[in-house]
Amino acid sequence: MDSSKVILYHKRIGTFVAEKKIKQSLDILSDMISFTSSGDLHDEYENMVLTYRNMVTYTIEGIKDPERNKIYIKLIQSILRLSDRARQDILSHNSGWHTYWIKQQAEKEVKLSGKTIIETVDDLMFKSELDEWLKLSNEFNPDPSSEISLKHKHLIKNIFNHLWLTDYYGEAESSLIDIIIKSGKFRWFETSIFVSAITLSSFRTWQTEKLYQLIDIYESGLEQVIERALSGLILNLHYYNDRVSLYPELTARINQLELNPGFREHSRIIVLQIIKSRETEELSRKLHDEILPQVEKLKPRIEEKLDLDNILPKDINEEKNPDWSEMFSDSEAIFKTMEELTKLQMEGSDVYMSAFANLKHFDFFKDFQNWFVPFYPDHETINEIYLDEILGPGTNELAEALYKTPFICNSDKYSLLLNLKYLPSAQKNMMLKVFRMELEGLQQLDDESNTLDSFKSFRTNVTQYLQDLYRFFKLSPYKKEFEDFFNGKLDIYNSEFFKQSGNAHEAEAGLADYFFSKNFYDDALQLFLRQIPEKPADAQLYEKIAYCYQETGSWDDALKYYRRAELIDRKAWTIKKTGLCLRRLGKNDEALECYLQASDLEPGNFHTVIMIAHCYLDLREYEKALKYYFRVEYNDPGNLKILRPIAYCYFALGRFDDSEKYFERLSAGQLTVHDYINKGHLALCQAKKKEAVDFYRLSLISHEIAIEKFMAIFSEDKPLLISLGVNPEDLPILLDYLLFITV
């Protein structure tokens, strides 16, 4: 069984178990077991099937067993554990992954030592190196190139690998973690990478003991370590959401965390930062291409022809409700200026992913654990900079500035440092100046902000750590061996953990507004809908729900909630939004009525005037449409775009000379494909067939429109042309002539 198939089977088992489809899960597990090399797994599976068959039989026969529910839960746990073990067994023998090569090398060393299993900390292969390090004084600071330093470096790597690659923790691992946390012999940055090892081990193989260890580490209070522990815990609880409720002891431990005064805010910071990772790829595309993907909205053909949306500049009031301005104060027009990009950076958005993606080729990143090591000024990588003729004298300032800057994650700091030595001399000097200025600015920033935000340090450390994880899953040479957590929906707000966090309603409200401000409308909608029972008379809530439906194209639902909002708080913005929905639903008479009402409330709003004109145009009441278009033209005489619908209305009314005058004025700007088609129609109605063909040909040779679409537009316009006096028998011949000279 290949790697992708075993992973798929493993996921299916988890899904079936969550849906209580135990027989189906056992059937898939049987297929997995057949590819394993362990007889124990086969025996355990057979016992499991026998147990479940008996349970099913007793239930059908009406035999009551007070222990049945406990046995059922235990069986489900056993199925999941056996599927985990089968997955590991198959992958270790068939995947060829780096992960399992390291694991197999470690297992060989254990066997060569004469041991078959690690039961206590004394059984660990690196126990002697560990003891040697524990005997040293805390004040002892060996030379980085000394033998004891090299041994210590090797010890750190062994501990990391052991915690990462051990499938199931026992007494040995519990004792080892206890030594790490309580001995005081391991520095914070070393303990930090051990936490990452536990997190990765838990992703690989579920075990509640690993999550208990992360909880214990979080409760230890070690700064720069607790951030990683709680992040790892939350990521795992979301990843294994279907399993959490099967372990009441685990949920009890999570509930106990509520007693920690900072837990709620810590959790909120982490959840929000995880969700922010969804913006990273979009930010990277924008920074790289300066293009935001646009989804073409379904709109009436006449609207496309006459470019009705762009006659006036976008009215902010026609988009999101201006009454929500406070909520959008930190997120309006995100990508318009560098000032706003800086604001995103300050908020923790990952703006550097694309910039540093190509700087992960250094040998430093071939060492697995280095993807998770925090940046600190004494790291051995700094030593390389000391040797540089230009950078050497400023190395301390450079390292200190990098260490303190909150805007670059640890992984990118190492990338930047490793790349510095390859820069030309002029750029090296410039970088030193930049970092000196950065250091001065950071010192001032610290003095001002530390008193204002007691969670600033925690937020910064979480942001950098989660961005480190993001780079590992996206960029590391080992990424194919891990399921990319950040590829998922990241709907942590639906997880059992989030529901148990105590302040779920308050947190959901904040997340809903965050999703809304970032245009994640599907997510925002879920959370806004949950708030209705608590806020049944909140007009803004209904407006936001309606807007979410609008942006996802659910016009009927949007209309329903705009009308609810209007009943509570009647205002022009809501009425116009109701009109928009009605127009999109083809209810043009009702849409017109809404815009007329809005105009009474806002008589000077020319965007409303435009929409009234569009509605009359939809209803083919061209004289009335002209009346409103003229008001816009009078107010904005230099606007060439308003000439387009005026020219069309005159044409539809058969006033060809007036239409031609406006088309000539429109020609002072850049004509669109539809302008050429409409000018062709006008010429055709004036019996200028050759001129009409020339205009039609101009629309086709622009390559902005396919022949098929041209034919569809022409077919739609055919009844109007005939009503204006064009001989219908001439049209097929004219089109064939056009194809002869164009194709």
Distance CA 213, CA 221 (A): 13
Judgement on whether residues 247 and 375 belong to the same structural domain of the protein: no
Percent of the chain with pLDDT over 70: 88
Judgement on whether residues 270 and 196 belong to the same structural domain of the protein: yes
CB 302 within 8 A of CB 617: yes
Domain count, the chain: 4
Judgement on whether residues 341 and 292 belong to the same structural domain of the protein: yes
Distance CA 303, CA 301 (A): 5
Question: Which residue, of 38, 64, 94, is where some domain finishes?
Answer: 94
Which of these, 48, 54, 51, lies nearest to 83 by C-alpha position?
48
Domain boundaries, position 237:
98-277
Residue 315 lies in a domain: yes
Judgement on whether residues 272 and 284 belong to the same structural domain of the protein: no
Judgement on whether residues 72 and 104 belong to the same structural domain of the protein: no
- Per-residue pLDDT tens for 37-93? 888 999 999 999 999 999 999 889 888 888 889 999 999 999 999 999 999 999 999
Judgement on whether residues 320 and 365 belong to the same structural domain of the protein: no
Instruction: Dig out the tokens for 718 from the structure.
Output: 């055919």
Judgement on whether residues 222 and 265 belong to the same structural domain of the protein: yes
Mean pLDDT, to the nearest integer, of 287-303? 44
Which of these, 373, 459, 466, 463, lies nearest to 417 by C-alpha position?
373
Judgement on whether residues 125 and 16 belong to the same structural domain of the protein: no
DSSP 716-729: HHHHHHHHTT--TT
Question: Which residue, of 94, 127, 151, is where some domain finishes?
Answer: 94
Judgement on whether residues 85 and 201 belong to the same structural domain of the protein: no
Q: Quick one: pLDDT at residue 332?
A: 39
- Look up residue 220 and give its amino acid: S
Q: How many CA atoms lie within 13 A of 143 on its CB side?
A: 3
Residue 598 lies in a domain: no
Residue 436 lies in a domain: yes
Which of these, 378, 428, 372, lies nearest to 163 by C-alpha position?
372
Residue 112 lies in a domain: yes
CA angle 353, 354, 355 (to 5 degrees): 95
Q: Is pLDDT of 333 > 50?
A: no
CA-to-CA dists, residue 708 to 683, 700, 712, 714, angstroms: 22, 10, 6, 10
Pairwise pLDDT comparison (278 vs 363), residue with the higher score: 363
pLDDT grade, residue 444 (50/70/90)? low
CB 645 within 8 A of CB 613: yes
Judgement on whether residues 107 and 198 belong to the same structural domain of the protein: yes
Residue 61 lies in a domain: yes
Q: Is pLDDT of 740 > 70?
A: yes
Judgement on whether residues 50 and 142 belong to the same structural domain of the protein: no
- Look up residue 715 and give its amino acid: S
Question: Which residue, of 324, 347, 370, is where some domain finishes?
Answer: 347
Residue 639 lies in a domain: no
Judgement on whether residues 157 and 87 belong to the same structural domain of the protein: no
- Per-residue pLDDT tens for 460-503? 999 999 999 999 999 999 999 999 988 877 888 888 888 776 56
Instruction: Dig out the tokens for 407 from the structure.
Output: 């805007």
Residue 39 lies in a domain: yes
Residue 393 lies in a domain: yes
